[in-house]
Amino acid sequence: MEIGNRARAVEDWFAANRRRLPWRTRRSAWRSLVSEFMLQQTQVARVVEKFEPFLTRFPDPASLAAADEQEVLAMWQGLGYYRRARNLKRAAEMIVERFGGRTPLEPDELLELPGVGRYTAGAIASIAGRRRVPIVDGNVQRVLARLHEDDADPTSRDAIARAWQRATELVDACDRPDRLNEGMMELGALVCTPGMADCGVCPLATGCGARRSGRQASIPPPKRAAVKIEVHHHSVLVRRNGRLLMEQRGDDGIWAGLWQVPTVESKRKLGPSQVSRRCGVELTEIDRVGSFTHELSHRRIHVHVFRGDAAPGARAPGRTWQTRSGLERLPVSNAVRRILELG
């Protein structure tokens, strides 16, 4: 099939199929920017729950730029990759300062924003701005690899470069870059999925290399999962006068900037007396409450939960005593949410 016909086949397929992201029917650069930040490495279904509340609270770059970072993180709670939320706020600040509050639609300007890489810039520019630029996400890379029967390791430099080259050729040959790019991603998400290629309904089936050779299941080869390091978090629910002691995590590492109950991290499991000694506040008593494991992409955290009573007049520098309603305003990880449920 000639490349222009391929591109139009995808555009027509997308135009005829319902979109899973209805907010894109309103073409707003700001909405597109927020949407693309949320969608980085995150499934559409998860984003749908969070998007409208976030946009209602932060309807334009100025409102986000002026907001307290704690509130931004709270609106992001549960989405993961919390650095995106902080980058998005910094991007909003830059939009206000350098672009007069108007979200840019040119790829080069978008790339200057923190947290915006080649994919995100291309998605906003092509979908919200209808600029003729390519995008390659995990879906597009898989569809293109199968189309061209490219069985290389998808994490290799060369394979990535070939995907961008092929995406560029397609978008150069298409009529509507927005429909082409969204169509390629939807194809990957709904038709040409990792586990199954539903070639019977695929607009690219004619001329697909993997289909011709029957290698849909082995292209692309799977990426090796990261080795998970095992660590232990000992978290203490410290009570005093009906309040709970909370601390904020540092600027780097996992859950940066989020809040937690006092937690001792170690390579090995610790007993109650060790936890009591190292948790940073004097306790008169400590008991085990329960434990669970929390899985991250590159780490397995064994969470051991304790309950302790603060000694009278105990000091806890850098920490705050929170009431139940105060707790609800602090951004916490899902692991901490589970810990708090045990309290």
Partner DNA sequence: AAATCGTGGTC
Partner DNA sequence: TGACCAAGATT
- Check residue 263 for interaction with DNA (CB under 7 A): no
Just list the catalytic residues.
36
CA–CA separation, 84 vs 95, rounded Å?
A: 16
State yes or no: residue 168 binds DNA (CB under 7 A). no
20 binds DNA (CB under 7 A): yes
- Nearer to DNA by C-beta: 168 or 274? 168
CA distance 195 to 285: 52
Kindly state whether residue 186 participates in binding DNA, applying the rule CB under 7 A: yes
Distance of CA 74 to the CA centre of its chain: 15
Encoded tokens for 304? 């051991």
- Residue among 4 and 194 whose Cβ is closer to DNA: 194
One-letter identity of residue 6: R
What kind and span of H or E run contains 142?
helix 138-147
Report if residue 231 touches DNA, rule: CB under 7 A.
no
Which one of residues 36, 150, 178, 247 is an interface residue with DNA (CB under 7 A)?
36
CB of 91 to DNA, least distance (A): 9
**Which residue in 5, 15, 69, 78 binds DNA (CB under 7 A)?**
78
Give the residue among 19, 294, 2, 4 at the shortest CA–CA distance from 183. 19
Among 3, 46, 99, 109, binds DNA (CB under 7 A): 46
- Is residue 79 left, alpha or beta, with left meaning phi > 0 and alpha meaning psi from -120 to 50? alpha
List beta partners, residue 143: none
Q: How far is CA 180 from CA 64, 88, 186, in A?
A: 31, 26, 10
Q: Is there binding between residue 35 and DNA (CB under 7 A)?
A: yes
120 binds DNA (CB under 7 A): yes
State the minimum distance, in angstroms, from the CB of residue 156 to DNA. Answer: 8
Specify the stretch interacting with DNA by CB under 7 A; choose among 50-58, 182-190, 206-214, 285-293: 182-190
Q: CA 247 to CA 274: how far, in whole Å? A: 19
SS3 291: strand
Does 300 participate in binding DNA (rule CB under 7 A)?
no
Q: Smaller CB distance to DNA: residue 44 or 152?
A: 44
What are phi and psi for residue 283, nearest 5 degrees?
-115, 145
- 94 near DNA (CB under 7 A): no
Per CB under 7 A, residues contacting DNA are: 19-21, 24, 35-36, 39-46, 78-83, 87, 114-121, 123, 137-139, 142, 157, 182, 185-186, 188-189, 193-196, 220, 222-226, 252-256, 294-299, 333-335
